[in-house]
Structure 1
Amino acid sequence: MKIFRITLLLLLICSTSFAVAEAKAAKKPLIVFVTGDHEYSSELTMPLIAAELEKHYGMQTVVLKASPDQNAEENIPGLEILKKADVAVFFLRWRRLPAEQVKYIEDYLRSGKPVMGFRTSSHAFNYPAGHPLEKWNDFGEFALNAPPGWEKKGNHTHYGHLSTTEVSVIPAEVNKPILTGVKGPFTVPSWLYRVLPDYPVKGSTWLLMGHAINPDKPATDQPVAWMGNNSFGGKVFMTTLGHPQDFEAEPFQRLVINAIHWAAGKPVPREWKGRITMNIQYDQHPQPVKP
């Protein structure tokens, strides 16, 4: 009888452990997109990526937007959802959020959870000198392994609005799961951002290299996507691409979907569900535009 009880107890423990593991595997990761830029229509592109993740890849998503519109620099409602997020995806540009909203972002970063960033998130914040939150102007560096701010360290600028970028996969990294199905070279409308020689920060793994076509000054090739760990220990994926028509390029679409899976700790999909219909036109908003 004693042996029977022990056997039954072991079976119950194994059954419970299996059920817990199964439930954990079935949990849908929550991906939170935080948008707010003046130029690249992230408030339109990110919801389409989010919809694809929900429809085909078994994820939950929330897309936060600047209010009342993309040009509003001081308010992104709903940031408290970051408390529940499994991955935070930022597409920001020159925000001046109030301290109570920044606190949600800070708490998320300090948790060591994964972070992704697009293009102008290297200069996500733009507080004036002496402001209590001025350190957040370096968000690109401490959160995304990118240059901190615009036209600061590393001469973070671009090669002109009339240029485009040819993108290729760095040969040494071609077998990385995050690059599954990502074939190059391909050309995107984004004008190439300059990040070298000091960025991405040491320890980052470069994934894609960009070559400026028709640059307005002598140009050198620059990494346009990388992965690694940020200063908080969290996984990070960053790309300096993000022009709305960049998202028409199927290799870039696939990289984004792969990166979100990688960040969420999920296997990169072996089966590609096909091109995502985007059709978002570049409409430069009436704001002073540098990057």
Structure 2
Amino acid sequence: HYAVEVPKGEPGDKFLDWLGGYYETGYSTNPHWKAEIRALPKHPITSGVKPFTIGDEWYFNMRFRPEMKGVTPIIVTKPDDHTRQGVSAAPRGPYKHILEAKGRDEVLAWVVERPDGGRGFGFTGGHFHKNWGDPNFRKLVLNAILWTAGLDVPAAGVESQVTPGELKENLDPK
């Protein structure tokens, strides 16, 4: 999630090489909103993952390689008009270039395969710890870990169980 945010320039250029995209301050945005993931492409990391809807701090308007070269979008959805206003973004919107993109599909997660054989997975969700309790959210990321490591993803995806109590066990007091 926050690990996809790096400064423009050399760090951003390295992320374009390694990961295919990144969050660019002043260009990308980071509102809290409920994304409706209605369809997923056929890819090993989507094995066993069903469409889902979940609220998170989903970043969008990410800076990608020119023409998305080598980048495969995994989660693509349209933020609603309220989300594009940037009311819950930091720094708070609205931003003209985000508003002008009204109705555009936004890529919230993606994969890249590099010429050197390396793989990357960009994921803009993960702000809220409770979301790991959603089986499809969790399975997508677990599948991505295997795929990124060059391992085979099971046909039904990585099976895992987590209880609400387990999710609360390691939270720091606030």
TM-score above 0.5, yes or no? yes
**Can you give the 5+ residue segments of structure 2 that lack an aligned partner in the other structure?**
86-98
| Match among 97, 101, 120 for residue 236 of structure 1 | 120
Q: Which amino acid aligns with 1:275?
A: Q
Which residue of structure 1 lines up, in the alignment, with residue 138 of structure 2? Answer: 253
1:189 CA displacement:
2.1
Which residue of structure 1 lines up, in the alignment, with residue 106 of structure 2? Answer: 222
Q: Percent identity?
A: 24
What is the rounded CA distance, in whole Å, between the counterparts of 2:121 and 2:146 in structure 1? 11
Residues 23 and 63 in structure 2, CA contact (< 8 A), matched pair in contact too: no
Which residue of structure 1 lines up, in the alignment, with residue 149 of structure 2? Answer: 264
Residues 110-136 of structure 1: CA deviation (Å, up to 9, x unaligned)? xxxxxxxxx222224x59xxxxxx722
Q: Which amino acid aligns with 2:24?
A: G
Residues 150 and 156 in structure 1, CA contact (< 8 A), matched pair in contact too: yes
TM-score by length of 2: 0.67
Which residue of structure 2 lines up, in the alignment, with residue 149 of structure 1? Answer: 24
Instruction: Give the CA RMSD over aligned residues.
Output: 3.4
| Match among 146, 160, 166 for residue 274 of structure 1 | 160
What is the rounded CA distance, in whole Å, between the counterparts of 1:212 and 1:250 in structure 2? 22
What pairs with 1:53-64 in structure 2 (closer than 5 Å)? none
1:181 CA displacement:
0.9
Q: Secondary structure at the match of 1:257?
A: helix
Which residue of structure 2 lines up, in the alignment, with residue 166 of structure 1? Answer: 36
Computing the radius of gyration over CA atoms, which structure comes out larger, 1 or 2?
1
What is the rounded CA distance, in whole Å, between the counterparts of 1:261 and 1:122 in structure 2? 19
| Match among 105, 121, 130 for residue 3 of structure 2 | 121
Residues 40-76 of structure 1: CA deviation (Å, up to 9, x unaligned)? xxxxxxxxxxxxxxxxxxxxxxxxxxxxxxxxxxxxx
Of structures 1 and 2, the one with the larger relative CO (CA 8 A, separation 6+) is 2
Q: From the superposition, tell whether residues 231 and 168 of structure 1 become closer, same or farther in structure 2 (CA, over 3 Å).
A: farther
1:258 CA displacement:
0.8
TM-score by length of 1: 0.43
More helix by share: 1
**Can you give the 5+ residue segments of structure 1 that lack an aligned partner in the other structure?**
1-118, 128-133, 286-291
